[in-house]
Amino acid sequence: MVNSQHGMTQELLAKLQHGDAKALARSISLVENETDGYEELLQSLPYNLNRPVIGITGPPGAGKSTLVDSLIGLLVNAGKKVGVLCVDPSSPFNLGSLLGDRIRMSKWYDNPNVFIRSLATRGSLGGLHPKIIEITELMKAAAFDHVIVETVGVGQSEVEIAGLADITIVVVVPEAGDEIQTMKAGLMEIADIFVVNKADRPDADQFVKNLRLMLAPAYHNRYDEVPVIKTIASQNQGVSELLKEVDHLLKHHHSKEKKYWLLAERAYQLIQRKKMNDIDKEKLKEKIKELSGKNSFQLYSFIKNYM
């Protein structure tokens, strides 16, 4: 039975590496559901998967999906194969993707050079899918030239994606002036490129100027300036300039030190999750319910006894 399982895993991996979309979809489902053999599949992935991962994040309504749609078009026209992961918010009750039935990027679903998978956050506090690291590694093992991860843009997902992507693009819109003023320092630091989308709106130029002024102090801690690129993604304007900047950064400005930090971040997340595996939320809830019924539940004492 073990040999049979091993053989099936190796066959699935071989198909995955040859760009078989069904094998990739099946592999992702195995990992999402922690089906028997999923750990062997992950451990069998080849070393040094240097396929670039482009992270796209930013507040809801910034036009991230339209931008991704435009990027897919440019890459496909250039003869590239693209894998896309879209991380959506999910209901805390059924853990399904609330946006799973959207029409977003629908024209690419039948294109053999494009693979799109929508993932629910499944209650993950950070705003990313709990298995996003593993699923991204599966995407890198498949025969894609580029892997794009688009996050929902809530919670800490903007910062978390820096531990996942080789290039992180933060998308904002001109009306986000107040948001920029209160923007977390971490978000300012993780952006490799800022995109001001919907740049045909009033005050876009002033907004770009203000954003560059805000970014200026951060340059002291970096090797180079953070590019700020204006786009009107709905009209495919500025997107080719964005792609050129992405290619330039991937070729010239991706330091090995940053790569090691990215890998350390991934290892930390996976080790942390492994240690949490034995903790079941349903059992936690039942125990809390029981103690509360006896008027003897105290959160911090409860946590101490559970450790």
194 and 52 in one domain? yes
Range(s) of the domain holding residue 27: 1-44
Residues 6+ apart with CB under 8 A from 116: 83, 84, 86, 105, 108, 109
223 and 77 in one domain? yes
Our CA angle for 247, 112, 47, nearest 5°, is 55
Q: How many domains is the chain partitioned into structurally? A: 3
Q: Is the pLDDT of residue 95 over 50?
A: no
The gap from C-alpha 280 to its chain's centroid, in whole angstroms, comes to 25
71 and 32 in one domain? no
* CATH number for 146: 3.40.50.300
Instruction: State pLDDT tens for residues 150-165.
Output: 986 655 445 566 677 8
Cα–Cα distance for residue pair 223/219, rounded to 1 Å: 7
Cα–Cα distance for residue pair 239/47, rounded to 1 Å: 32
163 and 119 in one domain? yes
Q: How far is CA 117 from CA 25, 129, 148, 277, 294, in A?
A: 8, 12, 11, 25, 46
Gyration radius of the chain's alpha carbons: 21
188 and 103 in one domain? yes
Q: Is the pLDDT of residue 231 over 80?
A: yes
79 and 7 in one domain? no
54 and 40 in one domain? no
Predicted local distance difference test score (pLDDT) of residue 158: 53
20 and 52 in one domain? no
Highest mean pLDDT, choosing among 185-189, 210-214, 284-288: 284-288
Characterize 21-43 residue by residue with b for buried, 16 or more Cβ atoms within 10 angstroms of its Cβ, and e for exposed. eebbebbbebbbeeeeebeebbe
27 and 138 in one domain? no
Of 44-48, 110-114, 128-132, give the lowest mean pLDDT range: 128-132
Q: Is the pLDDT of residue 20 over 70?
A: yes
182 and 95 in one domain? yes
300 and 232 in one domain? no
Instruction: Say what percent of the chain tops pLDDT 90.
Output: 36
Question: Could you tell me the two tokens for 189?
Answer: 């630091």
Predicted local distance difference test score (pLDDT) of residue 58: 83
**pTM of the prediction?**
0.80
Instruction: State pLDDT tens for residues 25-78.
Output: 999 999 988 888 888 998 898 876 678 899 998 887 889 989 999 999 999 999
Predicted local distance difference test score (pLDDT) of residue 251: 85
Question: Could you tell me the two tokens for 144?
Answer: 């894609």
